[in-house]
Chains A and B, each alone.
Chain A
């Protein structure tokens, strides 16, 4: 298939639209997670979503994004609660606590997933695609859900931009000013969970964190202004979604989710190398030219001394 065929194919068009919005929203909310040093939290929330979704499916018996959203949100809350209990009442540091909670929730999720697979719902449930995502299983209502969630996400981040900014930069000052920091903390976490849930079908819980983190890290290379970074991160996410989907449709049998993630990684490497000011090449260039300038000056000084 060539590009034109892909774009005119209505089915692919829907999927493209879905992955585009997914990349956009996870890029936007991921920026705040990254700046608040909560990248690993995004990963934990994504993995914790799996048991939440399984429980939601077991209780309702239907594959419905809104039930999954509730399940994932509740599981995320429990995970976050456990992390804060672990770090507060034991000597375990946050990274270790995140590691423990992430893997145990995921393990629990896999056990339940296997259980569901062997039950009367059988493979029809299609929940196994949630591990690494499968865009082919996406239906129109999923795409609508993705669009709705990303509109809400972007709207919220725009309205509360000032509060989110202060909270990310200086939570202590925000608290002193009277902002409900704990509430906002959970609020942002819920937004991350929302991005995770709409991403599960396309990218899967295992790789979802990369869509939250990688576009944000890439965007940070290009700018020193927060709002530009958030917009750029959304654009990077969007482009990853689009290019991943296009590549997977034009090359047969390549999985879309991992390709989206790899596209994001390509953008990351590109940014890391070529970004002006913060990029690797530019900093090497700066170092070399400073050195050159300095040695030229030294030579000149020597020259003027000897003459």
Chain B
């Protein structure tokens, strides 16, 4: 853990002049499962998209394992929000998973047998092998999420960014996904997950980032996920917490 898997310095991103993410700097050690937590509009998705250069940043510098983001692109995996695409696209599950190999293929080369094989392996890992030839709109929300996850696995990355992978999935899928993320972590991969459900933070993540426009706190979950810091991150909205399951968790 001598070198940071991801280092972000002074990252600022703005929509229409209003900064959504302001002067964010942090470092993430290798081989951790990191939850990004914060209230609505805190800039969680924006932060991820900014790091991945999907949206323009105003300032900031990103290094992955000591190298620039551009040179490390092939070792980055991405799971976008499920609603970000139209699932009524003429393609099947295996095909979508194989898209994860396109970056390694480069221009001009077409996906062939080995990509197909890799795709099937990844489908198997997420328990979707039997749906390989299913048209993607005929999959349930949880299954679609698994397909996106399988596609990210096919990228064979070292660091993964996942934008709310647990939204709209049932308990079984959530369990399957977290299982997979833990396996990735054990293999030394780094996984950053935008997460909503405070009640599962302690159970899922070794590291937690509290975000509200700025990084309020980042570090091992047991040090960061405490009422004091949560209060600071969520402001008045924390009141809701005290009478939910997560509230109990905090005590």
Residues of A within 8 A of B (CB): 35, 37, 159-163, 165-166, 168-170, 172-173, 175-178, 220, 223-226, 228-229
Residues of B within 8 A of A159 (CB): 108
Task: Report B63-106 CB contacts with A as 1/0, cut-off 8 Å.
Answer: 00000001001001010100011100111100110010011010
Tell me, in angstroms, the Cα distance from A37 to B89 when the chains sit together. Answer: 11
Tell me, in angstroms, the Cα distance from A118 to B45 when the chains sit together. Answer: 58
Tell me, in angstroms, the Cα distance from A48 to B235 when the chains sit together. Answer: 52
Tell me, in angstroms, the Cα distance from A173 to B76 when the chains sit together. Answer: 11
Is there an interface contact between A35 and B89, defined as CB atoms closer than 8 Å?
yes
Interface centre among A35, A166, A224 (most CB of B within 10 A): A224
> Is B54 an interface position by the 8 A CB rule?
yes
Residues of B within 8 A of A169 (CB): 85-86, 89, 91, 96, 99
CB B25 to nearest CB in A, in angstroms, measures 22
CB B143 to nearest CB in A, in angstroms, measures 16
Task: Please tell me the number of chain B residues within 8 Å of chain A, measured between CB atoms.
Answer: 28
CB A39 to nearest CB in B, in angstroms, measures 13
Is there an interface contact between B111 and A170, defined as CB atoms closer than 8 Å?
no
Residues of A within 8 A of B54 (CB): 172, 175-176
Interface CB pairs A-B, < 8 A, 14: A162-B111, A163-B102, A169-B85, A170-B80, A175-B53, A176-B52, A176-B53, A176-B54, A177-B73, A178-B103, A224-B92, A226-B89, A226-B91, A228-B90
> Is B135 an interface position by the 8 A CB rule?
yes
Q: State which of A168, A176, A223 has its C-beta within 8 Å of the C-beta of B78.
A: A176
Tell me, in angstroms, the Cα distance from A177 to B74 when the chains sit together. Answer: 7
Is there an interface contact between B99 and A173, defined as CB atoms closer than 8 Å?
yes
Is there an interface contact between A178 and B73, defined as CB atoms closer than 8 Å?
yes
Interface centre among B49, B76, B90 (most CB of A within 10 A): B90
Is there an interface contact between B80 and A172, defined as CB atoms closer than 8 Å?
yes
Q: List 17 additional A-B contacts (Cβ < 8 Å) besides A35-B89, A163-B102.
A: A37-B86, A161-B110, A162-B111, A168-B89, A169-B85, A172-B49, A173-B80, A173-B151, A175-B52, A175-B53, A175-B54, A176-B52, A223-B90, A224-B90, A225-B90, A226-B89, A226-B90
Residues of B within 8 A of A168 (CB): 89
CB B171 to nearest CB in A, in angstroms, measures 27
CB B104 to nearest CB in A, in angstroms, measures 9
Closest A residue by C-beta to B96: A169
Q: State which of B76, B105, B107, B108 has its C-beta within 8 Å of the C-beta of A176.
A: B76
Q: State which of A161, A162, A224, A228 has its C-beta within 8 Å of the C-beta of B135.
A: A224
Q: State which of A35, A160, A170 has its C-beta within 8 Å of the C-beta of B99.
A: A170
Task: Report B102-142 CB contacts with A as 1/0, cut-off 8 Å.
Answer: 11010110110000000000000000000000010000000
Tell me, in angstroms, the Cα distance from A149 to B53 when the chains sit together. Answer: 35
Residues of B within 8 A of A161 (CB): 110
Is there an interface contact between A225 and B85, defined as CB atoms closer than 8 Å?
no
Tell me, in angstroms, the Cα distance from A229 to B107 when the chains sit together. Answer: 22
Residues of A within 8 A of B86 (CB): 37, 169
- A220/B90 contact (C-beta < 8 A), A169-B85, A169-B96 known: yes
Residues of A within 8 A of B85 (CB): 169-170
Residues of B within 8 A of A175 (CB): 52-54
4 smallest A-B Cβ distances: which pairs?
A177-B103, A224-B135, A176-B78, A178-B73
CB B146 to nearest CB in A, in angstroms, measures 16
Tell me, in angstroms, the Cα distance from A165 to B103 when the chains sit together. Answer: 13
CB B115 to nearest CB in A, in angstroms, measures 10
Residues of A within 8 A of B53 (CB): 175-176
Is there an interface contact between A162 and B76, defined as CB atoms closer than 8 Å?
no
Residues of A within 8 A of B95 (CB): 226
Is there an interface contact between B92 and A225, defined as CB atoms closer than 8 Å?
yes
Is there an interface contact between A166 and B89, defined as CB atoms closer than 8 Å?
no
Is there an interface contact between A224 and B80, defined as CB atoms closer than 8 Å?
no
Tell me, in angstroms, the Cα distance from A254 to B18 when the chains sit together. Answer: 58
Is there an interface contact between B103 and A229, defined as CB atoms closer than 8 Å?
no
Closest B residue by C-beta to A161: B110
Tell me, in angstroms, the Cα distance from A148 to B111 when the chains sit together. Answer: 28
Task: Report B160-173 CB contacts with A as 1/0, cut-off 8 Å.
Answer: 00000000000000
- A166/B102 contact (C-beta < 8 A), A172-B84, A176-B54 known: yes
Closest B residue by C-beta to A172: B80
Tell me, in angstroms, the Cα distance from A159 to B110 when the chains sit together. Answer: 9
Closest A residue by C-beta to B163: A172
CB A69 to nearest CB in B, in angstroms, measures 26
Closest B residue by C-beta to A223: B90
CB A49 to nearest CB in B, in angstroms, measures 28
Tell me, in angstroms, the Cα distance from A165 to B78 when the chains sit together. Answer: 18
CB A88 to nearest CB in B, in angstroms, measures 9
CB A268 to nearest CB in B, in angstroms, measures 17
Closest B residue by C-beta to A224: B135
Is there an interface contact between B91 and A163, defined as CB atoms closer than 8 Å?
no
CB B233 to nearest CB in A, in angstroms, measures 27
Residues of A within 8 A of B108 (CB): 159
Residues of A within 8 A of B103 (CB): 177-178
